Amino acid sequence: MTGSENGFMLRSIGVIHTPHPTREGAPIQPTGARGVRGQVVIDPDLRDGLDDLDGFSHIVLIYRLHLSRGYDLRVKPFLDTVKRGLFATRAPRRPNPIGISVVRLISIENNVLVVEDVDMVDGTPLLDIKPYMPDFDIPEGKTSTGWYERSQGDPQRMKADGRFL
């Protein structure tokens, strides 16, 4: 990692392979990709960092939304019919195009993870893996989800169209 005043470099540490060749037609979230299997191939020199991960049922994949270019500050989400502030959506075109997805970990062999519920495009560059820990990742108390609560879209059926290409 190198840093400057306001920018810094990340590097791909692996590749996520999925059955979704293009953004168009891909599920919009893991909830629309239940049971869809993919492989995460980690750079072999990072292999030792995967020790003990096999005890976790779920992992958080952090990845580069590598097909996204530029962004608009107000966008119409897949699940809504009116424009919303970009940071109130999960739209892929963002100032820093980083995606996060919680996926089910099936198995690990050497530097290859088999995972389920993959919603990302085949060939997505991996940036980080974190163990999913409900104690840390689920907030206490009641949650509210603004426009999404009132939307009619069904994330389990919705597929991406070309709006964010």
What residues from 83 to 112 belong to the interface with its own copies (CB under 8 A)?
Answer: 84-90, 94-98, 100, 102-104
Q: Is 73 in the site for its own copies (CB under 8 A)?
A: yes
Q: What are phi and psi of 100, to 5 degrees?
A: -130, 135
Q: Are 77 and 91 contacting, i.e. CB atoms less than 8 angstroms apart?
A: yes
Please state, in angstroms and rounded to a whole number, the distance separating the CA atoms of residues 31 and 90.
Answer: 13
Sole binder of its own copies in the list 16, 117, 118, 160 (CB under 8 A): 117
115, 132, 160, 164: which one binds its own copies (CB under 8 A): 132
Q: Which of 24, 56, 111, 158 binds its own copies (CB under 8 A)?
A: 56
- Which CB sits closer to its own copies, 12 or 22? 12
Select 17 or 59, whichever has its Cβ closest to its own copies.
Answer: 59
17 or 104: CB nearest its own copies = 104
> Distance between CA 63 and CA 38 in Å, rounded?
14
Burial class (CB in 10 A: 0-12, 13-18, 19+), 130: middle
> What's the residue count for the chain?
165
Binding pattern for the stretch 135-154 against its own copies, x by CB under 8 A and - elsewhere: xxxxxxxxxxxxxxx-----
